[in-house]
Amino acid sequence: MRTIFLILLGSILMSKTFSPQYLIWVAPFVSFLSNLEAGLFVSASFLTWFYFRYWNDVIALSPMATSILIARNVLLVVLLLVSTIKLVRKIMLK
């Protein structure tokens, strides 16, 4: 399950467009992750919701809106890295 999660999250992060509904593709796999990883995902999802709730205009970004998007993207990259490290450790222990 972690491998599928990593493939989905990696392809979402590496694509040239990021749409908020893409996070729904990853959501079912969060139940198989650790508390830290689930917390990172929930935080990134909250920031996505918060941005689109109050700053729906992508063209005229304010500094606060840009900061929210950067924080969301950093959380998702950290989630990808943490989950990858956990998968590699699990493979190496076998």
SS (H, E, C) the chain: CHHHHHHHHHHHHHCCCCCCCHHHHHHHHHHHCCHHHHHHHHHHHHHHHHHHHHCCCCCCCCHHHHHHHHHHHHHHHHHHHHHHHHHHHHHHHC
Q: Which residue has the higher pLDDT, 64 or 84?
A: 84
Q: How confident is the model at residue 89 (pLDDT cuts 50, 70, 90)?
A: very high
* Per-residue pLDDT reduced to its tens digit, 72-87: 999 999 999 999 999 9
pLDDT for the residue 52: 84
User: What is the model's pLDDT at position 28?
Assistant: 92
Host domain of residue 23: 2-93
pLDDT of 29: 92
6-54 tens-digit pLDDT: 999 999 999 888 888 889 999 999 999 999 999 999 999 999 999 888 8
In the chain, the number of structural domains is: 1
Task: Write down the pLDDT at residue 47.
Answer: 94
